[in-house]
Structure 1
Amino acid sequence: MPGATVNKSSHPARFWLSPASLAQLLTGLVAGIWLSRQGEWGADWQSRSSAGLGAQEGGTHGWAAFMTLSDNLLLAALLLCWLMVAGALAVTPTRACPHSASDAGSRRSRLGALSLRFSAALGGGLLISLLQQPIVMAEALTRQELWLEGRVEQVNRALPTPDESVRLVLRVSRCDLFQPTESPNADAGRLAACHRLLDQRVQLRRYWPHKPPRDIATREALATPWQAGERWRMVVRLVPPHGASNPAFGRSASPAEFDRVAWLWREGIVATGYVRQLSLAQRLAPPGGLAALRLHAEQALWQRCGAGEGGALVDWPGSPCRWLAALTLGKAAALTHDDWDTLNATGLTHLAVVSGLHVGLMASLVLGLSFGVLRLWRPGGWRFSVAPWWLACLAAWSFALLAGLAPPALRAALMVTVGLWMASGRSGLGVWQVWMLALMLVLGLDPLALWRPGTWLSFIAVAVLLLAWQGRSRPRGVRGWCLATLRSQWLLTLVMGAALLLSRGQLSWLSLPMNLLMAPLVTLLIVPLGMLGWGLAGLEQLLLFTGLVPSRLTGMLADGVFSGGLWQLLAQGMAQVMEILSSLASTQGRWPQVPMAAGVSGATPSALILMLAVMALLCAWLAEGVPGLDGRLKRLCGTVALCWGLSLAALTLPWSPTALATAGRDAGTRATEVASFSPGAPALSLTVHDVGQGLAISLRSHLAASIGIGTSRQTPRHWRYDLGMASRHAGARLPGPMPVAGEPIGVIVSHGDGDHAGGLQALSAEEIASLWVPAGQRARLAHQVSWLDEVAMRECVAGRSIILGQLQGEPVRLEMLWPPAGLTTRRDNAHSCVVLIAHGARPLALLNGDIGLQEERELQATLGRRLAGRSLPLLVVAHHGSRTSSGDGWLESLAARHAIVSAGRYNPHGHPHPDVVERLARHVECLWHVGLDGALHWEWWPQGERLQPARRAGGIGVRCLGVKSAG
């Protein structure tokens, strides 16, 4: 019709793919996924997901749960439907308001479109997230023996060793009870819980047996390698996801701890456990499809790189070829803990994970080569061909599939695909539309990516580069590209450094120089040459298959001389480079050690200054790259960014005057705080750490330190009583607050058991000012650490004491009550060093180690006289709550206000024993379980004491939490 205007917003592409539309859809999608984990939504879904599973064997349990939703979810679904209908009606043209609508009709149409898009994305995000949400294993199956059948998705090594177990992820396809009872009704609940595991992922460990197996079947099973892609049937014992909780209490700050439960949930793992009775494990099917291709590729790399012989991949951590396995096959499990520590300290972690950098590089190389070949073949029409774009997309997805299609590889393949679509000129979209569309695709296909930090770091990095280079001309010449690379890397270093500083509390000053050196080296040399090796390997196999080579070259091609020689050269070069980086990381380390994640109030002034500097620098540099700004304003922003960047570099250097002055000022401030003790502050703070099935206690004295008897050295203010289990890798650190740099600590080891003294390996002789050990346990400790003779070691004998300081005219000291001199018993637990913390004649806390009922009876009279009818403020229960300790008479004489059981959650020993829990409930006021309540922080001052758990039970308004079983 002449004169009529066309409403372009009614076009489907503009309605859904305009920048405003994509922003609304992205916001709704993120909100929907986020809501699926909030309040009663996730709990309701978890509780109802097992409905109707009794007769189902497939993976349709999500829809069964969807049909049994509660009123909360049904109400939300009805509300979303109403919003979508209202929005659809609002954007539908009417006769009264045709395409050339009035202002009121136009506003109504825009609001209706917004409502329709946002509600559709919100409902879609909520539904997708609920359907793909992991269903955590029910408590009814805790430590129950089950038959599991499924496909191995991930495995870190083929065979276990005495020092290292096999860690694998199994996708469950069938679950049965190992020993069902005679009554079907009694097993109904466990069978329903077992069916909840169908199509879920569980993490299992395959251990090396403590004793050499005697039967042939077990020895053969132990020597059978397990590979990804195989289908297995096995007997397992599972527990729900759990982890340690050791937050920073009070003003103490330690590096941000790893949240294992959150990590397991992000990875879709609903239970953890281990394989039992290896002789019963059966391989049902070999790897197939992509898994078989990946296994063949790993074996080819292992054999041709000179790492060993045979097909079993059992020694990746000991081979220099592990770097090629990580860079070209995405096998991150091939890298050791030391490798990851080096990468974290140098800011190069992103280079060792197959991500957008590697996938984009492969797509770019294939795209460039394809256009080059096409230009020679068709000089006239090569610019208009779509074949190179499809080949580049195919190369990106092939590389991602070869890397196992892990979340980073999947994310990278999606981003590259959308980027190629835009770069081809056939999408009509801008860079920000492509950015939002790629993020929507990633979240829609993998809703758990919303909670993965890597997702946001990747997209933030791309967004920063887009913002920095938007409106700029393309670099020209070698100098222009070098400057562009320097500017991009400098900006990415600042952004990623700020993100890591604010989230993890650590900043690597080596990040910028190492990325400037290693990023081009890895992306432009190592990875392309590594992929060239795969091309040569494929060419070698093709020539052998066709038989078009002389007989004298057949053996060389069969051995992979050409591809293997290239891989060996790259592997040796990478090993030498990483050895240099490891030495740099160990000498320089990361700065600062005080985390921002602990809270701004607990950060040091230097850390606050650094955070402000990073924020100002980012704002200035980003503003300098925004198009449309005045040239003078851009130069001003660039100058400010440069000044802040130089200041930041000077501040982060460990040997800079600023850092040294800050360290000295912080140490002087702490010393002043100790010397000027405030009556309102705690005089003593004691933390029982969550270390699983073990014991680790840190004690901090806030009193003026006293001079030790017979020595000129001050008594340490920071003490450790037991150190928990040993760690399997060298990068171990003890939980809890660390003392000021250069301040030695005192250590008391109750006895030589690994769950009490194992953490001694994480310390060095220079860090220990005084080590107290029972006389009968010195030989056991000498086998665990080699530096024992370099430490001032004293025997823990009844009658000795350590004075921590003076308070109100009376000493605060650590008194040794056990063992007596000359104890000759052969029971190691009976040698446990029992320590009483006392203020004058007033007992405050009792640390018992692993003493038994006999030792308790001998100490009962002594402690009864000391208490004189008063209750003991704090008791650390002996031997993790074992039945052989904590007798009735002992507990009655102590009448403790707080009793702490240091035992791991779901531990295999059943600690604390139900009988001990009942006795404790009769004689103590507050009972705490470290495995349930997390680390427990106790503070004492003359006016009273306070105990704070790491985990709090919401809605329970009682003074303390009681436990009725080991859980």
Structure 2
Amino acid sequence: MKQPFLILSVGWAIGIGLAVQWGGSGRVWGLAGGGVLVVGGIYGYWRMRGGGWTLFLVGCCFGAAQFCTVEASNHTILPVSGNSSRAMVEGTVVSPTDVDGDQVRLTIRTRRVTLREQQIQGEERILLQLRLNRSMEKKEAQTLKRGTLLAVPVQLIQPDSARNPGGFNYRAYLHRRYIHRLGEGDWQDVNILSRPFSVYGKIDSFRLFLEKRLDRLYPENVAGLMKGMLLGNRKAVPAEWEEDFASLGLVHLLAISGLHVGVFAGGLYIGATLLGLTREKAAFFSIVTLPFYAVLTGAETPVIRATVMAVLGVISIACGKWKDNLSFLGLAALFILWWNPYQLLEAGFQLSFSVTFALLMATEWVSQRIPTCWPRVNQLIAVIMIAQAASFPLLITHFHEFSLFSWGGNLLVVPVVTAIGIPIGYLSLIVGGIHEGLGSGLALFVTELWSGIRSVLSFLAMWKAPRLFWPPPPWWWLIAYAGTLCYCLWAWMGGKIRRTRHGWMAGFLFIAVIGIPLIEGSKDELQITFLDVGQGDAAVIETPEGNVILVDGGGVLPWEKEPWQRKREAYDVGKRVLIPYLKYRGIQSIDWLIMTHGDADHIGGLKAVVNQFSVKHVIRNHASLQGSMETELMDCFRQQNIPVLIPETGKEWELEPGIKWQFLYPSEKSGEENHGNDSSLVFLMTVYGKKVLMTGDVEQAGEQEIMRQWNLPQIDLLKVAHHGSRTSSGEKWLQSIHPRMAVISVGRNNRFGHPSPEVLNRFKKRGVDIWRTDQDGAITVTISPHTWKVESVVKSER
């Protein structure tokens, strides 16, 4: 039986997947695994075969048993009493301290929690989010290391689940890290009880020491980049650099991955032998150093996988044995899944092991078919092709996008970074500790190299067409893709007769399978999604024929902060909510972008959207520009040659058969006279006979003018104006339109008191079905010729 560890690891992973899907009892799964082991052992003893299947099935059962056992014990010891409660927590810091602007984030393992005068003993991992009030506090927080014992009063809250379709499920993410509560408080209330000796604390100190050395050697932006590439501090990488690399499929270069571990391990072994160490001593030095390097750089899954494989590889070289990389890969997977079975659900684990397996299986075959006379070039092209093909289904599953530029980008950039950027970066760090001048010379070379790479990548990142967005594919498509890929490899790597008979068919089948997720079946329904953007408005309308209308883009009010308070990347509704949703839906472009008016909570997220998606038309009101945010947005439209239209009020347009829309307000005259909320665009959509009224932030004066100009029909769906403020939705207005259903876009616990109890009472008196984004999350209304369906992401009590 070849590669038993690989077979066992595959079975173990499948078993965890079965347990995730179907659950069950860990004891039952374990007994089943024991039964398979006994029966398979007896059968193998008598028949001398079947060992592979026995090992696979044993792995399935024990993997499922492990996950069910861990899941059953993964719960909070704290009593559940609503979403928030005040408590004093005391515990040990178990994560590196993340200081970003005026906020500190760290994880503690509690030993005591005092909740409503009740002391709860026991371990509970809590993620603390502490506010900084002074710049001096920031310096204090940066010195906090793992192992420190502290006590702090906090507000314990439950993490959010996803509040928008395709959104990030923070609660599930923390659950996989055994965290069930967040603790919000102030740094000034932290009481450091003791700073005992801790190995992890010393590693944190050494990492901070190296980061300070990089700050001395490199300019600020490049220093942040090198902290990410060499030390695993991804959050130090400038946000704009990360966006460019991510858009081109090169983000893996900015964080420690198997590529970096391979370069480090190779350099370590070669350097040790050049210093005169024997092969055995060089191997021993590498084996001891690599685990320390893994912990120093954050111990993420790709790092652990590469470190385990590198250590086993070095051992095999030192012993003069043949390297069985597939078995090493299986051992690495078993180690990580045994340590934490939730890792199987992480994109990093899936990408790291899938790509590595594909490279080990196919690189030699593919490189032999590439028609150049340079073996190294052939191998490089084969590696890029295989890595892209293997990662594609996982990228569109988890991130819903793929860049056509990533093929060429990886082909051109990865060799330069691998052969020059990373090695000389490490060398500058080492030499800089001996002689800062020599280290600065090497750093200058790396800085110029990255400056050139960044210039090229920034230019390529401006192109929107090569970026394709996919909706999440179904499970059967993932199986079909994997089968088609294997078929292509079998057809193209075979002899001339096989390639002649199967080559064209395999290529055609591969292209067809890739295009399936982009093909939408025929439908006769319109979908309106009111996104939860906090205290703001944003709605996406998708028509049966594929037209996409984006109404407003949410946003937050600008708040001037001191330099020390500014975060690495300011919160942007467009990047955090709108863009992820549009990608999740597989939307490639926006046909109509409607700006109801220029308030920040309606247009703040639009710039990010316009920079990533092609926008065909913009519709805005007649009012003059209201501020710097709207002026900047209009400049962005002009730079991208996007036509900006002012609608003719009263004119009814047929968007598609059965779907019409009509702008009711403001007219040219009222648009000049009114500003602010009463300049909001108001439009009526007729969808298969159903009436949908979108009102922006129009207030009662605007409502009265609309009633004077138009004889409004009964409204089936009303987007409530101004987040349910008492200055809108007047008695006469509701009496005139008599809505059946109302959607209020409003932020949770907002400081304005929206929605007004007075307005809610007006709706309730009329029996209106009220939906709210603060309580229900995103709200999706689907309208077809014969049906009407409303769904929400958060299942609140109604």
TM-score by length of 2: 0.78
2:439 aligned residue: 563
1:200 aligned residue: 125
1:444 aligned residue: 338
Q: CA deviation at 1:440?
A: 0.6
Instruction: Tell me the secondary structure at the aligned position of residue 201 of structure 2.
Output: coil
Alignment of 1:670-819 (within 5 A): 681-682=524-525, 685-699=527-541, 719-725=549-555, 728=571, 732=575, 735-736=581-582, 745-750=592-597, 752-762=598-608, 767=615, 769-773=617-621, 775=623, 778-779=626-627, 782=630, 785=633, 787=635, 800-805=649-654, 812-816=661-665
Question: What amino acid does structure 2 have at the position aligned with 1:772?
Answer: R
Question: What amino acid does structure 2 have at the position aligned with 1:290?
Answer: I
Partner of residue 924 from structure 1, selected from 764, 767, 770: 767
CA contact under 8 A between 1:155 and 1:167: conserved in structure 2? yes
1:393 aligns with 2:287: yes
C-alpha distance in 2, partners of 1:21/1:518? 37
Partner of residue 241 from structure 1, selected from 159, 167, 174: 159
944 and 237 in structure 1: CA distance in 2 versus 1, 3 angstrom threshold: farther
Alignment of 1:249-328 (within 5 A): 260-266=170-176, 269-272=179-182, 274-276=184-186, 278-282=187-191, 288-305=201-218, 307=219, 318-328=220-230
810 and 754 in structure 1: CA distance in 2 versus 1, 3 angstrom threshold: closer
C-alpha distance in 1, partners of 2:322/2:658? 82
1:936 aligned residue: 779
115 and 223 in structure 1: CA distance in 2 versus 1, 3 angstrom threshold: closer
Structure with greater Cα Rg? 1
Q: CA deviation at 1:370?
A: 4.0
CA contact under 8 A between 2:260 and 2:422: conserved in structure 1? yes
CA contact under 8 A between 1:145 and 1:237: conserved in structure 2? yes
2:83 aligned residue: 142
350 and 700 in structure 1: CA distance in 2 versus 1, 3 angstrom threshold: closer
Q: CA deviation at 1:397?
A: 1.8
CA contact under 8 A between 2:89 and 2:151: conserved in structure 1? yes
2:746 aligned residue: 903
Partner of residue 490 from structure 1, selected from 360, 376, 385: 385
789 and 489 in structure 1: CA distance in 2 versus 1, 3 angstrom threshold: closer
Question: What amino acid does structure 2 have at the position aligned with 1:597?
Answer: P
Q: CA deviation at 1:724?
A: 0.7
1:710 aligned residue: none
Instruction: Tell me the secondary structure at the aligned position of residue 743 of structure 2.
Output: strand
1:621 aligns with 2:489: yes
1:590 aligns with 2:590: no
Post-superposition CA distance 1:162-207 (Å, at most 9, x none): xxx5463322436756xx76xx5xxx6xx76xx78x4424263647
Alignment of 1:756-905 (within 5 A): 756-762=602-608, 767=615, 769-773=617-621, 775=623, 778-779=626-627, 782=630, 785=633, 787=635, 800-805=649-654, 812-816=661-665, 821=670, 828-829=676-677, 831=678, 833=680, 835-837=682-684, 844-850=691-697, 858=704, 866-867=712-713, 872-882=715-725, 894-904=737-747
Post-superposition CA distance 1:874-907 (Å, at most 9, x none): 1223343456665777656654322212234566
CA contact under 8 A between 1:621 and 1:637: conserved in structure 2? no
Q: CA deviation at 1:522?
A: 1.7
Q: CA deviation at 1:940?
A: 4.6
Alignment of 1:226-625 (within 5 A): 226-227=142-143, 229=145, 231=148, 233-237=151-155, 239-242=157-160, 245-247=163-165, 260-266=170-176, 269-272=179-182, 274-276=184-186, 278-282=187-191, 288-305=201-218, 307=219, 318-371=220-273, 386-425=280-319, 430-468=324-362, 479-497=374-392, 499-501=394-396, 504-538=399-433, 540=434, 557=435, 560-587=436-463, 590-593=466-469, 595-597=470-472, 616=484, 619-621=487-489
Post-superposition CA distance 1:111-163 (Å, at most 9, x none): 998876654454344334555x475987636344444455272455x462xxx
CA contact under 8 A between 1:233 and 1:284: conserved in structure 2? yes
C-alpha distance in 2, partners of 1:113/1:701? 51
Q: CA deviation at 1:441?
A: 0.8
C-alpha distance in 1, partners of 2:409/2:637? 40
Q: CA deviation at 1:487?
A: 2.7
785 and 535 in structure 1: CA distance in 2 versus 1, 3 angstrom threshold: same
802 and 224 in structure 1: CA distance in 2 versus 1, 3 angstrom threshold: farther
C-alpha distance in 2, partners of 1:724/1:127? 43
801 and 532 in structure 1: CA distance in 2 versus 1, 3 angstrom threshold: same
Instruction: Tell me the secondary structure at the aligned position of residue 354 of structure 1.
Output: coil
585 and 823 in structure 1: CA distance in 2 versus 1, 3 angstrom threshold: closer
Post-superposition CA distance 1:779-807 (Å, at most 9, x none): 575465452996887889xx943522289
TM-score by length of 1: 0.66
134 and 330 in structure 1: CA distance in 2 versus 1, 3 angstrom threshold: farther
137 and 536 in structure 1: CA distance in 2 versus 1, 3 angstrom threshold: farther
C-alpha distance in 2, partners of 1:443/1:138? 30
C-alpha distance in 2, partners of 1:687/1:492? 36
Q: CA deviation at 1:570?
A: 1.2
C-alpha distance in 2, partners of 1:458/1:811? 49
Deviates more, 1:777-786 or 1:564-573: 777-786
C-alpha distance in 1, partners of 2:385/2:425? 27
1:48 aligned residue: none
C-alpha distance in 1, partners of 2:586/2:309? 45
The number of residue pairs the alignment matches comes to 766
CA contact under 8 A between 2:535 and 2:746: conserved in structure 1? yes
Instruction: Tell me the secondary structure at the aligned position of residue 495 of structure 1.
Output: helix
1:171 aligned residue: 108
CA contact under 8 A between 2:621 and 2:681: conserved in structure 1? no
745 and 530 in structure 1: CA distance in 2 versus 1, 3 angstrom threshold: same
Instruction: Tell me the secondary structure at the aligned position of residue 153 of structure 1.
Output: coil
Q: CA deviation at 1:449?
A: 1.3
C-alpha distance in 2, partners of 1:719/1:848? 15
Q: CA deviation at 1:532?
A: 1.8
C-alpha distance in 2, partners of 1:200/1:25? 32
CA contact under 8 A between 1:244 and 1:931: conserved in structure 2? no
Deviates more, 1:722-731 or 1:441-450: 722-731
C-alpha distance in 2, partners of 1:839/1:889? 22
Post-superposition CA distance 1:497-537 (Å, at most 9, x none): 45435654533333333323322222222222222223224
C-alpha distance in 2, partners of 1:493/1:587? 20
Question: What amino acid does structure 1 have at the position aligned with 2:472?
Answer: A
CA contact under 8 A between 1:685 and 1:938: conserved in structure 2? yes
CA contact under 8 A between 1:348 and 1:511: conserved in structure 2? yes
Question: What amino acid does structure 1 have at the position aligned with 2:426?
Answer: M
C-alpha distance in 1, partners of 2:56/2:548? 59
C-alpha distance in 2, partners of 1:624/1:454? 30
174 and 793 in structure 1: CA distance in 2 versus 1, 3 angstrom threshold: farther
697 and 81 in structure 1: CA distance in 2 versus 1, 3 angstrom threshold: closer
C-alpha distance in 2, partners of 1:101/1:154? 51
CA contact under 8 A between 2:162 and 2:793: conserved in structure 1? no
Q: CA deviation at 1:354?
A: 0.9
498 and 599 in structure 1: CA distance in 2 versus 1, 3 angstrom threshold: closer
Question: What amino acid does structure 1 have at the position aligned with 2:745?
Answer: S
Question: What amino acid does structure 2 have at the position aligned with 1:242?
Answer: D
641 and 324 in structure 1: CA distance in 2 versus 1, 3 angstrom threshold: farther
2:563 aligned residue: none
CA contact under 8 A between 2:41 and 2:54: conserved in structure 1? no
Alignment of 1:620-639 (within 5 A): 620-621=488-489, 632=496
C-alpha distance in 2, partners of 1:107/1:687? 57
Q: CA deviation at 1:439?
A: 0.9
582 and 600 in structure 1: CA distance in 2 versus 1, 3 angstrom threshold: farther
137 and 493 in structure 1: CA distance in 2 versus 1, 3 angstrom threshold: farther
Percent identity between matched residues is 20
731 and 135 in structure 1: CA distance in 2 versus 1, 3 angstrom threshold: same
Instruction: Tell me the secondary structure at the aligned position of residue 488 of structure 2.
Output: helix
